[in-house]
Amino acid sequence: MNDDVPLLDIRGLTMRFPVKKNMFGRVTRYARAVENVDLAIARGETLGLVGESGCGKTTLGRCIVRTHRPVGGSIFYRNDDGSAADLAALTTKQLRPYQREVRLIFQDPFSSLNPRMTLLQIVGEPLHTQGIARGSELEDRVAEMLRRVGLRPEYMRRYPHAFSGGERQRVNIARALIPQPRLVVADEPVSALDVSVRAQILNLLLELQEELDLTYLFISHDLSVVESICHRVAVMYFGSIVETAATSDLYTQPQHPYTEALLSAVPQPDPRLRGSGRIRLPDDLPDPTDPPAGCSFHTRCPYARPDTCAVGDPPGLHAAAQDHEAACHFSSQLHLTGVASGPEGLAPQKDLAQQYE
């Protein structure tokens, strides 16, 4: 089997939501949420997906787990036997086997657990609905999974209200992992938690990745967390991926002005290593029902040259897992400021616990 072939290879993925209906109930306008995204995720890696609120991170994640059906593009998922399936094109019935292989961990451990279901029912549900296990076998597998995520199996008949936020997120993780997936989309898995338990949950995700040979798409606002746990990072702006690179390359040598602005907003512990200060971007994201021509960042970019940037599309990214690429006309000419990596940088690479506790 060729290990250069990514586990997930997304091509031209596009998702738009209907926003306006005319008097006959027909949709007349669509809002852009994900636009022409190419992105590859290698087996066993953690790919971070970052970008400001509303840029399309969750929508992209939901297209991958197919709770949204994209309006265009492909999501090639590599099967164990080396063949590929386009998840974007599968019917609901054809999707069934992939629903155990590609799983989502939700952000909010409070609203995502049904208060009227016990832990046994919640964690066992994917096995039950997929017809994988029933009865005592199902109970045994739930007990084993609870143990793996650090919860006591004796609690399986209790309801979610009896547990703290961190424990509920462990339940969420158990529910996502019990069908033995290969790819996990973790959508802001620690951002709703107290700072004191974030490191524990992140460490749990890292341990489980190693133990169960998992591949993660890790969606986050928190660039310090992303630097700590992701091998590579994709930066999203207004529905498109504008830069991808190995984490340390992206943080120390950003090639897209939007990445530079995101990094400039992160507090840096050592004042000597701070760049020239925070770059404050004007205005909000453009109107998703009326996207700007040319580079979609030109309405806010400090380096924009209207004659070029407002006219022509910047170069597209090629999605190859190992490349550092930026969708900017001038990326090779601009000398952008990043942040220091490693111990003096945003976050220590190893000692997550110290960072948060």
Ligand X SMILES: Nc1ncnc2c1ncn2[C@@H]1O[C@H](COP(=O)(O)OP(=O)(O)OP(=O)(O)O)[C@@H](O)[C@H]1O
Q: Residues interacting with ligand X, by CB under 6 A?
A: 17, 31, 33, 51, 53-59, 221, 288
The residue within the footprint of ligand SF4, chosen from 39, 184, 309, 347 (CB under 6 A), is 309
Q: Give Cβ neighbours of residue 272 (< 8 Å, ≥ 6 apart).
A: none
Alpha helices in 216-256 (DSSP H): 223-229, 247-252
Residues 6+ apart with CB under 8 A from 222: 190, 191
Stretch that binds Mg ion, among 55-63, 206-214, 262-270, 344-352 (CB under 5 A): 55-63
Q: Determine if 112 is a binding residue for Mg ion (CB under 5 A).
A: no
Residues 253-272 that bind ligand SF4 (CB under 6 A): 256-257
**Are 38 and 10 a contacting pair, CB within 8 Å?**
yes
Single residue of 42, 174, 183, 301 touching ligand SF4 by CB under 6 A: 301
Q: Closest Cα to residue 231, out of 311, 146, 115, 322?
A: 322
CA 327 from chain centre, in angstroms, equals: 19
Residue 194 is encoded by which pair of tokens?
Answer: 């107290």
Q: Binding to Mg ion by residue 169, rule CB under 5 A? A: no
Q: Pick between residue 33 and residue 234 the one whose CB is nearest to ligand X.
A: 33
CA angle 179, 128, 140 (to 5 degrees): 70
One residue of 58, 215, 224, 264 binding Mg ion per CB under 5 A: 58
The number of beta carbons lying within 10 Å of the beta carbon of residue 83 is: 8
Residue 295 found at the interface with ligand SF4 (CB under 6 A): yes
Radius of gyration of the chain (CA): 21
329 binds ligand SF4 (CB under 6 A): yes
In the range 160-189, which residues lie near ligand SF4 by CB under 6 A? Answer: none
Distance, CA of 233 to CA of 240 (rounded, Å): 14
Q: How far is the CB of 262 from ligand X (least distance, A)?
A: 12
Minimum gap (Å) between residue 107 Cβ and ligand X: 8
Say which entry of Mg ion, ligand SF4, ligand X, none residue 330 contacts (CB below 5 to 8 A, set by partner kind).
ligand SF4
The answer to whether the beta carbons of residues 220 and 236 sit under 8 Å apart is: no
238 binds ligand SF4 (CB under 6 A): no
Candidates 17, 30, 159, 303: give the one binding ligand SF4 (CB under 6 A): 303
Binding of ligand SF4 by 285 (CB under 6 A): no
Residue number, nearest CB to Mg ion: 58
Burial (0-12, 13-18, 19+ Cβ within 10 Å), 234: buried
Binding partner of 328, given ligand X, ligand SF4, Mg ion, none, CB within 5-8 angstroms per partner class: ligand SF4
Q: Which stretch binds Mg ion (CB under 5 A): 2-10, 11-19, 53-61, 221-229?
A: 53-61
| DSSP-assigned letter for residue 171 | H
If residue 121 lies in a helix (H) or strand (E), which one and from where to where? helix 119-129
Residues of this chain that interact with ligand SF4 (CB under 6 A) are 256-257, 295, 297-298, 301, 303-304, 309, 314, 328-330
